[in-house]
Chains A and B, each alone.
Chain A
């Protein structure tokens, strides 16, 4: 059974940093790309970042480029999102999502974690 469990969310001040983790199980982690998707309170889904199965290719939404870094440790079956220079508009539930193939694109998301809430506020 595929499981994705996010952690690391919490309350952080504007300008601060946070690192999210997503522990994966139930599939061959290195064989699939992974993504982070976020959802601000009461709003729709926004794709944030993606990484290929090997970790060699990464992609970012314009809204987070230069501030967020996606990475993965295939030996630990874990996906990460390092978030720096956080802003109030980054407040959202952050989901990790498993892509359908090893490449980050084109790929839909066939499994999602339960999400972790990040709140950016002073």
Chain B
């Protein structure tokens, strides 16, 4: 089974900061990676698919990069609405999620 490891687990940041979250796969998944945002009590929301494709309606401050085993999600200028938990998901082989990264207010 493919394992996904996200870092950091928690990230403290301020509005306007550039934020980067890393996701590593235990084996190559090509570009079959998605990123989701989840707020408390809500369902996850798709942000990025195929490692770097922005889902329709998602603000352009979100971007994704990487291939193979190492991937990043970047928020170029953190906004108040972005404080949430972020999950990566590989879908090379069904769908394993990372453990999540909570972005909290500094």
CA of A96 to CA of B93 in the docked complex: distance in angstroms?
18
Give B95 Cβ to nearest chain A Cβ, in Å.
Answer: 4
CB pair B49–A45 under 8 Å, yes or no, is: no
Q: Does A105 contact B (CB under 8 A)?
A: yes
How many chain B residues touch A (CB < 8 A): the figure is: 25
Contacts of A107 in B (CB 8 A): 91, 95
Q: Does A102 contact B (CB under 8 A)?
A: no
CB pair A108–B34 under 8 Å, yes or no, is: yes
Please tell me which one of the listed residues B43, B95, B98, B99 contacts residue A95 in the complex, with CB atoms under 8 A apart.
B43
Q: Does A70 contact B (CB under 8 A)?
A: no
Chain A interface size, as a band, is 20 to 34
CB pair A100–B49 under 8 Å, yes or no, is: yes
CB pair B94–A115 under 8 Å, yes or no, is: no
Q: A108-B89, A110-B55 are contacts. A47–B96 as well, Cβ < 8 Å?
A: yes
| Contact digits for B20-50, partner A, Cβ 8 Å, 1 yes 0 no | 0000000000001010101000111110011
Q: Which residue of A lies closest to B87 (CB)?
A: A45
CB pair A106–B100 under 8 Å, yes or no, is: no
Which residues of chain B have a CB within 8 Å of any CB of chain A? 1, 32, 34, 36, 38, 42-46, 49-50, 55, 87, 89, 91-100
Which residues of chain A have a CB within 8 Å of any CB of chain B? 35, 37, 44-47, 50, 59, 62, 95, 100, 104-115
**5 interchain residue pairs of minimum CB distance:** A108-B34, A112-B43, A45-B97, A47-B95, A44-B100
